[in-house]
Amino acid sequence: MNLSANAQGCVAIRGAGGAVCSMMDHMKNIDSSGWMFSTNTRYFRSFRHFVGTVEQPQRQQLGTEVINHTFSMDLGLTRVFNKTWSMAVYIPIIANTRSSLYEHGGKDRHETHSFGLGDIRVAGYAWLLDPAKHSKFNIQAGLGIKFATGDYKYQDRFYTATGPTIIGPVDQSIQLGDGGTGFTTEINTYYSISHKLNFYANFYYLLNPREQNGVSTQRGGTPSASTIAYTTDVMSVPDQYLIRGGANYQVNNFTFSGGLRFECIPVNDLIGGSTGFRRPGQVLTAEPGITYTIKKFNVYVYTPIAISRNRTQSVPDKIKTDLTGVYAQGDAAFADYSVNIGFSVRF
């Protein structure tokens, strides 16, 4: 089950973050051992700018908004050893497009792109209660490692105000990886009211001990003294987490789901420092979905719809506030919704 989050916009949470409750339900029905292959594809378009919880509609009115198109596909292979233990590997493939004015001299809108392998994750899972004795309720714990396999220095061409183009690292929000080796913790649980109705909850946290990855934020240019002082001249390697909960109702081969999804890039990491450029933020979404199951195969569609978006004050924002005496808080672009489509097959 890949619980990796992917917030809707410039808040750079990576991973496809699919409909894990249906996949967990599929896994608990596997015989004592076996394999499962899964994919989850996620797409969203972010364009609404927020400072804190306040939207900045003037960005769209003036045509200065940043527009990100993000497409990611997670390929997952799970090995179930017995009714308690399993292990999985998740391989993300990512394609991003970013359209803006301010990165290209401020006169005309241009695009930058990134495409390739993301950060691969390997995780082990265990049901904490004996599945043979606890079919109505159980808790699964997972521990994993995220490897820095995604290109976190991806470069593209930027236009300048005078015309010539330069090559430099693309924005943090469309980088393929974060440049850090991380450690993941997961808790997944369900409670069955009947064979048709059950509740689910998921928790995922990625710890990234590395503070900065050394990649410049200056798009091929030279950092100013102020950006160095605020530590925004290089990219941060942030933690991230996801909390989900809701209910599933089964009708024949269909399962209808409804719940809430909370995704976050925190201001401060649990381990290590938190300086460097990041756009910390939170997204709360309503998450309706539908799954179709037939024998060893299921396919699903989930569409998280934004309820609230919050671009919080980062550590560099706080440093700038202290140095200048003027309150500083950056903005970020968010999507209205995202689309998750995926399937899994047991064999």
- Per residue in 24-50, pLDDT (tens digit) is 555 555 556 899 999 999 999 999 999
**Percent of the chain, pLDDT > 90?**
86
Q: What is the C-alpha to C-alpha distance for residues 113 and 95, in angstroms, rounded to an integer?
A: 8
Length of the chain: 347
Which phi and psi angles does 298 have, rounded to 5°? -140, 150
In order, the DSSP letters of 156-177 are EEEE-TTS-EEEEEPPGGG-S-
In order, the DSSP letters of 146-158 are E---S-SS-EEEE
Confidence of residue 17 (pLDDT cuts 50, 70, 90): very low
Q: What is the C-alpha to C-alpha distance for residues 344 and 180, in angstroms, rounded to an integer?
A: 29
Residue 212, classed as helix, strand or coil, is strand
The token pair at 307 is 């309820």
Between these two residues, 23 and 306, which has the higher pLDDT value? Answer: 306
Between these two residues, 18 and 77, which has the higher pLDDT value? Answer: 77
Closest CA to 86 of 205, 181, 208, 186: 186
Which phi and psi angles does 253 have, rounded to 5°? -90, 0
261: which residues sit within 8 A by CB, 6+ positions away? 242, 243, 244, 283, 284, 285, 286, 287, 304
Which phi and psi angles does 173 have, rounded to 5°? -65, -20
- 20-346 topology per CATH: Porin (2.40.160)
- Per residue in 93-120, pLDDT (tens digit) is 999 999 999 999 998 999 999 999 999 9
Q: What is the pLDDT of residue 26?
A: 53
Q: What is the C-alpha to C-alpha distance for residues 310 and 336, in angstroms, rounded to an integer?
A: 13
Residue 245, classed as helix, strand or coil, is strand
Tokens 């290209």 belong to 104
The token pair at 274 is 């938190």
Average pLDDT over residues 311-339: 97
Q: Number of helices (H) and strands (E) in the chain: give both, helices first.
A: 4, 20
pLDDT at 299 over 80: yes
DSSP designation for 268: S
The token pair at 295 is 């024998």
pLDDT at 21 over 50: no
Count other Cβ atoms within 10 Å, centred on residue 111.
14
CB 138 within 8 A of CB 126: no
CB 34 within 8 A of CB 120: no
- Per residue in 241-292, pLDDT (tens digit) is 999 999 999 999 999 999 999 999 999 999 999 999 999 999 999 999 999 9
Q: What is the pLDDT of residue 140?
A: 95
CB 237 within 8 A of CB 213: yes
Give me the chain's average pLDDT, please: 91
Q: What is the pLDDT of residue 31?
A: 55
Q: What is the pLDDT of residue 29?
A: 54
